[in-house]
Structures are given as structure tokens and as C-alpha cells.
Amino acid sequence: MLRSGSLIRHCRSPLVFSFLGLVFALSELSADAQRARDLYLQSRRYLEQKQVTKALNLALQAEAEDASNGWYSANVGSLYQWHIKKPDTARLYYQKALQKGSQEPWIYRHLAILDFNAQKMGSARDQIETAVTLGQSRLETGVDQNAGPSNLKALAQDQITNLGWQCRIALEEGRYLDVIRLSSKAEQLQDRYRPFAAGRLDGTLVYSAAEALYWQGHEALSRAEYNQAATAYDQGTSWANRNASMAEWFRNQGMSELAPMARARASLGVIQPVYVHRFHALYLNEVKARFQDSSGHWINAETRITDNQISASRIMETVLQTWLEVHSKGKLSLHGEHHKMDLTVRNFKVSTSYGVESRQPDLESAGQELADFLFEYGGDVDTWFFYWNGEGFATTANGGAHVYAYVPWQLYGSMRGYVSMPSHWMEKSSGFLTLLHEYFHVVEAMSGIKPVHGFLDSARRNFPGWRGKGQFDYFRWHFYNTLPAVKNSLTQKREWSNLNFKNIYPEIVTAGLVQKNKDRVQTVAVDKLERAHLLYQQARNLPASSQNEKIGLFQQVLELNPWHIMANQELAIHYSRQKEYQLAAEHYKTLLSLQPRVWAANNLAWIYQWQLKQPASAIPVLQQAIELDREGTDSLGSRINLSRALMDTKQFAASLKALQECRTVANQLESSKHYSECTFWEGFVLGEKKADPDAARPLIAEAWQKGYQNNFSRFYYNKYVKKPASRNRALMGSAQPEVQAAPFLMSLPENEPVQVSHD
């Protein structure tokens, strides 16, 4: 996960200009004005000592002493705005100052900042235009009256600050050309009067100019105009370098890497990717949630996603795509489809990791409509991107892998990539790094890179080959040095095509299964479904030593929702291990009716066939297991057990047919182990059950030669091959070893994976 960060601190306390000092020193002041001046200067000294309350009291006394001077009212407003953090009170004092005739440019600038922070852009734009007009007039008057270098420098500095905020407001409105034009004006004043030292140009101005140019680069990149993008990126970095703090901030966001990336993409030309990672971006229209944070405080969140956030996110996806293409040398690309969902997120999941609180939308709270959409497209997507407006309450973005609900709190599909993104973070030019960071968590989930956050000092020992610095370099190092060669636990192939979910985890949930689960839970109240699932998660989080408590919670889950898939699964496995096979069978039957899985069918068949001694009951369950995986290796064990259940119920012809099919599939899958076992049992049925030793002999001989050798098979190898039955009739009636039961297939499916997140 990635946390939000403040980009800049919006301005400072008003400057005490040198020309104002001259007014105090040279003017003939009244007694009230003198006392006001002295009180003001005392207030400033207390403020320097961070004694804000004393400073405010003296500032208020100064205003009362010289009641006609609007400057003192504005000074009180400044204290309320910047030190006491009461914007409404600050606005009242600024308005008093204007009513008293004070026309200081900084008053209008501070009013503009108040409006900007309140998102009143029209008013902010008007206020800052007034500040710029007054500031320019003051500067021209100073020049005409030969105000002197120090006063002209102070006036120029104030005007550059005004222009900086005019740029900032234009930037917020997406008027990038206006930002560049206005920043050029400020640059001319800096070149003429040098009010700012080298590397210390006004931060708001520098941020706005650099941000606008970086955005122009992003937009050019989205049009595949790579060289034009590189030029804009270079210009953005040049502006960023005019303020040391801004330069460091943008550098930490990887912005200096963009121009080389754009040029590298231009040099690649037309590419033919080995794999195109497919994503679907969902814009969750509304958040209307009330939830508790990790400290127990209630958070009320009500937002709607904006068109600008949507367009910004799409541009950021293009930057991410370009990064992937460059760093995979054209072997991996990204393609997405976009959907605006008229849905409401009504809850957030809160967790803490590495001391950082994460707040992620509870997708199931958005209802069945979202679940239906995820099911409809789940088979054709590698990763889901979820955008939601988190203004005022978002703490992190998140990424990794997830299983998604197709019936909320009930039925889940196959694993897919997961990116959860506060959409308003995409409105910053550095938003691409946030997106890259979360997408790299998806890469980690696909490729097996562990641990996450390997760029942190506490984790980098796991990657001794990486000697760089920062997450941007860390991601690049993996793309150049370990990907796609990181061994994936799900496949032995080492190709860029490993970086997918939809092929590694094909969707096996069907429309019929979704409908069946909907029908089953339709009589269960929604709040019970949610409570049941929360109890299940609570049980899952308990340590292994709390097994009894876990089982109690799973039972409570089923009291709320008897059809809860995972609780039935857990109890089926538990009762099997406790050898309470009848109870285990009931839970397996429920599980298979809700979410059929090969492993579960084989487990239930094992209980019927070998523990409850009910081979007839095992037959339809094994047939179900085979249907679930007709051409896969899992079906081979099921076919062998089916043949034995048929044999035990004296259905010998059907048993032979099952074994012949088993041999065919095993041969196709090149599974010599299963092929030899099927061959042996076919010979066994022919010889022992059909009394056809001549047909049995070559099959048992072949099975032995191909490696199916144990004490049981040795007995029949000796009987039919070494000592043919036709010459030793007595052996035919010899005591035979008991047929061995198949091993209990206890392999488990993927449970709900936890989203990978970071701090």
C-alpha cells in the first residue's frame, strides 16, 4: 500500500516588507499608532518563540489601539489562518482589513488560499488576480519612485509569490498553458531582481510549473508522442531544480526518470509483446460509508468520483504501460478496459500493517450488481483496478492478489490481480509511481518475489544483487535481473507470459453455480451473510493452537448461514481428521453442492469407499470428480478409485471401461505412474473377477515393467507372469493380500488470499 503525502505547505505568514519598516521609522505617528506598532513588534517576538496565544492577544490589542489601520486586522487574520488554523475567523479579519481600506496584495493572496483550500476555485481565481494586479502596480510604483534595491527586491518577491499562487490555482483547474505562461512572468522578475537565492525560488511557483510540464509530458506519452513527452519531462525537471525542496520531492517520486523512459520507448519503435496483461478498471461512482478506524474513531465518508479523476487515471495507466514496455524491452505490455459503475461503497475494511492504517473499500458492500459484473468479466481479466474518491479519509493505496465475490459473502472466483486506488491521488503527476508501486505488488503475487517492499532497509538483504537506492530503482532492477526468471510456484516456465492470472488460474465458477448459490442464500438476511463471513474471517485469523475456538466459530457461522462454503469446508476437514466420518461427509456434500472441487469430491469418495465401506455411494462422487477435471492429472486418481468402487459393487464391465479410459488419459498426459497403475488394475479385474488369465497376463507384466511394483502387485505378477495359472492351479485359490485403500487426498484449495499491502 502507498500512503498519501502532502505536496507543499500552502504559503506562510505575511512578510514584513522593508518598505513597511520605513513607514514606521519615518512617519510621524500618533500615540495610538505608536502603541499599536510596539504591541505588534512584541507580538512578533512571542510568535518567534512559538507562544501563539500571547502573540494573538498582543495582535488583537494592536488592532484595537489603531482601529482605523486595516493592516493590523489583516495581521490578526494571518495568525488565525496560519498558526491557529481557524480559516473562517481569518477570513473575517481579512474582510475587516479591506473594509478599512487596506489594499495589501498579500491580503488578497491569503484570501485566495483560503478559497483554494475550500475548493472555491472561482473566488480563489478572482482574489489572486486582484493580488497580482496590486502587486504589479506596487512594483511599478516602486520603480518609478526609485524605491531602492532592497525594497524592489521585496516587492518582486511578493509578486513572484502572487504569481506562484496564480499558477497553483490554474494548475488545479488543469490550465497547464496558463501555468507555463505565468511562470515565465515570474521567471523574468526573478532574473531581473533576484529576490530568491539560487535553488530557493518560491516553492508554490516551482511546484506548479514543474507539475504542469510533467502533465504535458504525460499527455504526450498517452498520444505515443514519446520525444515530445521527453522534452516536457526535461523542462519539468529543470523547473523542479529551482527549489531544493521541490527538486528532492520530485526526484523521490521518480520524475527525473521519465524523460529517459520516454526516449527509451521511442527507440523501441513498434513492439510485439510476448504477453499483454489485461486489466479492467472500475470507477466506483460513490462512497457513502461510516466505519471505524483502527483507534475506534468513527469515520464518515461521502464522496463521488469526478470526470477529471477518471481521465487522470487513464493517463497514469498509459505511463505505467510505457514503463512496463521499456523495462521488459517490449516483451510485456498492458491493456485495459474501463467501466464507470453507478454503485455505492458502503463500508471500508480497516487493517494495520507496519504501523500504517489501511482503508480499503469493502467491495461486497457494493452489492450483487458489482459481483455480477466481476463474474461476467472475471474469466478474461488478469487484474482488476478499483478507483474510488478517498478525499478526506484515504490513507493508502493497495495492490496484490485477491479472490472476488460472485455472490457477496458466499461464492468467490479464481485469483486475480488487485489494485485499489484513491482516484484523487491520480490527479498529481507523481500518481504514476503510486500506480507502479501497487502494480508491482501484483507482479510479486504473480512471480513469487518475496518479501514485499524489498527496497526497504529491513528487507533488502533478501536481494543482495540489488545495490541501488529507492523503490523506482528496485522495480527496475527486478525487471532487468530477476523477471521473468523468478520461479513461479504455479508453473516451471520462465517467460514473460508467467505474469498473468487468467491462464494460471482459469475461472472455473459457472453461471449455474452462481445461480445455485444465489438461490441457496436468498432466504438468509444480508446482515446475517455479512456477520457469518466476519465470524469466519475471525476464526481464520486465530492461531493453530486455538483449534477448539476456531471450530466453535465455524459452527456459529453455519448457524447464521448454513451454506457458507468455507465454514463447511473447514468443518469437513476437521471432522475427517477427528475420524468423525459421517459428520465430515455431510459437510462435504454441502460443500460440493455449492462449489464443486476435485479435491473435495475425492475426499468425500474416500470417506464413502474406505471408511464407511459404502462403495456404491462413492461412485457418483468419483464420477463428479472426473467431470470436474476430465483431461487433468487429478482425474487419474479418481478414475482408478472409480474402477475399484465399480469392481467392489461387481460392475466389472464398467470397471474395465473406467480403467481403459484411465490408461488413455494417462498416456496423453505422459503420466507413467498412473498408466502403470491403471494397467495393473485392468489386469487384476480380468484375471481375478472375469477369470481370464490370458488377458490379464500381458497387462500385469506391462504394469510391472513400467514400475508399478509393490508387495500386492508382486503377488499377482508371480501368479500370472512368473508362474502361469495354467500350470499351477493351486495358486489360483491362494489367500490374497487385502486390497489397499487409496490415500486420503487432503490437498486444499486456495482460500481467500490477503491483499498484499505496504506502508
Whether 730 contacts 326, CB under 8 Å: no
Q: Is 662 helix (H, G, I), strand (E, B) or coil?
A: helix
Amino acid at 49: Q
pLDDT tens digits, residue range 282-296?
Answer: 999 999 999 999 999
What confidence score (pLDDT) does residue 274 get? Answer: 94
Residue 394 to residues 3, 427, 546, 573, 705: CA-CA distances in angstroms? 8, 14, 34, 39, 66
What's the pLDDT score for residue 15? 39
User: Which residue do the cell numbers 461503497 mark?
Assistant: 345
Q: Give the rounded distance of the alpha carbon of 215 from its chain centre.
A: 23
The β-bridge relationship of strands 2-3 and 396-402 is antiparallel
Distance CA 596, CA 382 (A): 23
DSSP at 739: P
Q: Which amino acid belongs to residue 505?
A: Y
**Helix, strand, or coil here: 441?**
helix
The DSSP annotation for 712-747 comes to: HHHHHHIIIIIS-GGG-HHHHTS--PPPPPPPP--P
Question: H/E/C letters for each residue in 479-535?
Answer: HHHCCCCCCECCECCCCHHHCCCCCCCCCCCCHHHHHHHHHHHCCCCHHHHHHHHHH
Q: Encode burial over 10-19: b for 16+ CB neighbours within 10 A, e otherwise.
A: bbeebeebeb
C-alpha 481, offset from chain centre: 24
d(CA 91, CA 74): 9
Place of cell 527507440: 267
For the CA atoms of the chain, what is the radius of gyration?
A: 36
In this structure, the strands spanning 356-361 and 348-353 are: antiparallel
Torsion 67-70-74-75 (CA) sign: negative
Alpha carbons 203 and 192: distance in angstroms, whole number = 19
Question: How far apart are the C-alpha atoms of 640 and 676, rounded to whole Å?
Answer: 11
Q: How many CB atoms lie within 10 A of CB 651?
A: 17
The pLDDT score that the predictor gives to residue 749 is 37
Give the other-Cβ count within 10 Å of 120's Cβ.
14
Residue 339's Cα: distance from chain center in Å?
18
Is the CB of residue 402 less than 8 Å from the CB of residue 755? Answer: yes
Total residue length of the chain:
759
Residues 376 and 507: their CA atoms lie apart, in Å, by 11
Asked whether 732 and 688 are in contact (CB, 8 A), the reply is no
Report the amino acid identity of residue 22: L
**pLDDT number for residue 724:** 60
Q: Are 565 and 556 in contact (CB under 8 A)?
A: no
Cα 507 to Cα 406, 557, 673, distances in angstroms: 12, 27, 29
What pLDDT shows up at residue 484? 84
What pLDDT does residue 135 have?
Answer: 96
29 burial level (CB within 10 Å; 0-12, 13-18, 19+): middle
pLDDT single digits (tens) 616-632: 999 999 999 999 888 77
Determine if the peptide bond prior to 484 is cis (ω within 30°): yes
Return averaged pLDDT per consecutive 10 residues of the chain, 759 residues in all: 44 40 51 92 95 96 94 96 97 97 96 96 97 96 91 95 97 95 96 92 96 97 98 97 95 94 97 96 96 94 96 97 97 96 93 87 93 94 97 95 95 95 96 96 91 90 92 94 70 75 89 96 94 93 92 97 96 95 97 93 95 96 92 87 95 96 93 94 95 95 94 93 57 40 40 38
Distance CA 700, CA 107 (A): 99
